[in-house]
Amino acid sequence: MTRLWMILVAMVCGCAPKAEETSTDTDAGAEADSDGNTDTDSDSGTDSGSSEPLECSKYFDDDDEYEKQQWDCDLKTLCDTVSYDDGKSAFHSRATAECMLQAFAERQPGKLTLDYQDSDITSSWTQTMFILDTEGHVAKHGVSYSDMITSYSINRPYLLQSPSYFEGCLKADSDQEMLECLFGWRDGECVDIETTCDGGF
């Protein structure tokens, strides 16, 4: 199993990488969902009003149930959809990835979408992400397809990495390095905050 595929599996399941496991020097960081490695400690967060761990992710097999609970935030779309083709190890447009990284660096509230197509064409996923506030809280939901099976997920908000992290990502030499860096967008555990969105948690 390649490092990138492990990252992708973790991103879809909601397992985020730790900041110290990402770097803009060697592999430009590490998600996918949208974010990840094989760690599972981000499947729960901490509720500031309780010692009980938070449920960070919910998973669905039924699209009707998913549509009822997915995030619905009245936020403008910040960038065109970021699409990555693993067979070509390239973004369809690197400029869209740079736009997403810039939006993360600036903590600009809005909506972003990231699509990934696996090299064998049988697996793909789409993540819709919402920068909720200027502090950098991001909530997301996603759909993944693998061997004719469709699954759905929603995640509680996480804080973004520091602006300097994303500024470093913009200097990535290759599209694959930039993608891995983009996947490392989360910093710490999920949080329970008030939002103006419908759906979610």
Domain residue ranges in the chain: 3-21+28-38+73-187
Average pLDDT of the chain?
82
Task: Please say if the pLDDT value at position 186 is more than 90.
Answer: yes
Percent with pLDDT over 70 in the chain: 74
Identify the pLDDT of residue 13.
Answer: 46
pLDDT for 4-15, tens place per residue? 544 444 454 454
Region 124-143: mean pLDDT is 97
Read off φ and ψ for residue 182, nearest 5 degrees: -60, -35
Rg (CA), the chain: 15
For the range 124-127, what are the long-range contacts, defined as Cβ-Cβ under 8 Å and sequence gap of 24 or more? Answer: 125/8, 125/11, 125/12, 125/32, 125/33, 127/11, 127/32, 127/33, 127/34
Identify the pLDDT of residue 34.
Answer: 41
Residue 60 bridge partners (DSSP): 152
